[in-house]
Copies of this chain bind each other. A is one copy, B any other.
Amino acid sequence: MTLPVETFFLNPDHQGTLQSQIQQMIAQGILSGRFQPGEKLPSTRKLATHLSVSRITVTLAYTELLSNDYLTSRGRSGYYVSRNAPAPPSFTPTPNGPDAVDWNKAIGQRFSGGQTPSKPQDWAKYRYPFIYGQADPTLFDHANWRLCALQALGQRDFTPLTTDYYDQDDPQLIEFIARHTLPRRGISARPEQILITLGAQNALWLTAQVLLTQRRKAAFEDPCYHALRDILSQSRCHLAPVRVDQAGLPPEAIPPDTDVVFTTPSHQCPTNGTMPMDRRRALLERCREMDTLIVEDDYEFEMSFLKPPSPALKSLDTDGRVIYVGSFSKSLFPGLRLGYLVGSEPFIREARALRASVLRHPPGHIQRTAAYFLSLGHYDALIRRMGTALHERREIMQAAIEENGLQIAGQGAYGGSSYWMRAPEHVNTRHLAQSLQAKGVLIEPGESFFGGDGKPQHFYRLAYSSIPAGRIAEGIKLVASEIKSS
């Protein structure tokens, strides 16, 4: 019997080419058992008319399915579901009843309920997205990334693509970071002092597991990156939040019995404060006296378009005291999930063993693609393009902020991609963000960056990394008027 053409429908919100949509529709019809072996498919002409696509598209889809043995063709008589096509589900699934398991008892450790706020996935649909840390399609060098990815998908790179590296990394990526990326921060490291991680998040998490226990004390900046606070709380160590000032973390405020201090000298997160050189030296000196380790999160150092960045803390460290966290999430894109750790061998050895146990290694293909993108010079070109664009946006934003009388609470000396803002005391920026979202404006409330009780409610972050220059002024005006009316 011929499958009625009426039972064929394209999924309207499906991604991909028309041909792939048709292939997919038929393959899934067979996999789900709707189309049985031996059944005849509509003629290419019929199906093409029904779906109102070109006949050649249908023919190409059928041919592809032939080669995958989903369909067979009987010459002029048409296409049939192949006898060798994959079998439909052979078992009737168990209905989902209520669990007999008491999960409150069964769960040994809880990880949910952290402070990391959920952010709108559909931010690109908003007209004024002052959102932080997402890739801007108008800035990213998508074409060259695609070329590098394609190269990394070639026969030559079959091994880096498919192999189980166990606890190892892509040697080409490691070599580039060691020879070209780190020297630009004044850091010299041997391959065995570098570990590739799944983004800075993974690097910070690994570091906390290796260095902290329930008996140790971690000092960290307040306010800080909320995910870091979640990581430290989960480690159950003693927490010592240290309030930052305009110049970042004040060394003298770190408790003397601190084992590890987490800091963001290039751009304090979220206030954007840049730590001056003398304070960097003072911080190293104090940590040397206290025999405290330093974890330096150097995120966004690439976004230094106002003046060249200061040397990393790690470059001033002669003790092996500093563990350096680098990331490609801001400079390339966060969905890449690539970052790296630089530290002394005994530390990297433990972090590597833990990473191997947790996930083995970051996928080979993304490591090799990044290696190509970096080594072909696309990365530095991209950074320069981004710098120029962000510089322009920043100036427009600065002007708009002044014109509308908004208060800047913190900004980076070297650039960065956001302003840390202060609203009047009585304004709760969570409510502000909600009412602005309804007007197409996305801002980030500052509360979740603070820890403990009595968190300030009136701070917020305005990023210019994903909003077109042309919309900044308008957007800022909306923020200002919303604040006035609240």
Instruction: Give the interface of A toward B (CB within 8 A).
Output: 15-17, 20, 23-24, 27-28, 30-32, 64-65, 68-70, 84, 86-87, 89-97, 99-101, 103-104, 106-114, 116, 118-119, 121, 124, 133-135, 137, 140, 142, 145-146, 149-151, 153-166, 168, 172, 179-180, 182-190, 198-199, 201-202, 205, 209-213, 216, 227, 230-231, 234, 259, 288, 291, 293, 308, 311, 315-321, 329, 333-337, 344, 346-347, 349-350, 352-354, 356-366, 372, 375-378, 380-381, 383-384
Contacts and interface: CB of A to CB of B under 8 A. Distances in A.
B202 A358 contact: yes
B231 A357 contact: yes
Contacts of A155: 142
Contacts of A135: 158, 162-163
24 contacts: A23-B376, A24-B377, A27-B376, A28-B180, A31-B184, A31-B377, A69-B381, A70-B377, A86-B377, A91-B185, A96-B189, A106-B347, A111-B210, A112-B349, A119-B166, A133-B164, A134-B162, A137-B162, A142-B158, A146-B150, A230-B357, A234-B357, A363-B363, A366-B366
A161 B68 contact: no
Given A288-B100, A337-B359, A337-B363, A108 B216 contact: yes
Given A188-B95, A315-B93, A376-B24, A121 B168 contact: yes
Tallying the copies of this chain within the complex gives: 2
Nearest to A188: B93
A318 B212 contact: no
Contact of A212 (B108, B124, B161, B209): B108
Contacts of A347: 103, 106-107
A108 B188 contact: no
Nearest to A371: B15
A201 B384 contact: no
Contacts of A375: 24, 27-28
A384 B95 CA distance: 29
Given A337-B362, A357-B234, A380 B162 contact: no
Nearest to A190: B96
A350 B319 contact: no
Contacts of A183: 32, 89, 91, 93
A320 B101 contact: yes
A244 to B, nearest CB: 23
Contacts of A124: 159
B320 A91 contact: no
A227 B135 CA distance: 36
Contact of A213 (B92, B108, B334): B108
Given A90-B311, A96-B189, A107-B211, 5 more contacts: A24-B376, A27-B380, A91-B311, A99-B319, A199-B359
A99 B86 CA distance: 60
Contact of A101 (B107, B121, B168, B293): B293
Nearest to A102: B291
Contact of A359 (B16, B97, B137, B359): B359
B164 A198 contact: no
Contacts of A361: 337
Contacts of A70: 377, 381
Nearest 7 interchain pairs by C-beta: A91-B186, A27-B377, A99-B320, A93-B188, A162-B333, A164-B334, A100-B319
A186 B89 contact: yes
Nearest to A202: B359
Given A183-B89, A293-B101, A365 B335 contact: yes
Contact of A116 (B28, B109, B163, B166): B166
B216 A156 contact: no
A383 B97 CA distance: 32
Nearest to A97: B318
Given A97-B318, A151-B20, A199-B360, A165 B335 contact: yes
Nearest to A216: B108
A318 B97 CA distance: 7
A68 B162 CA distance: 31
Given A65-B377, A96-B190, A134 B146 contact: no
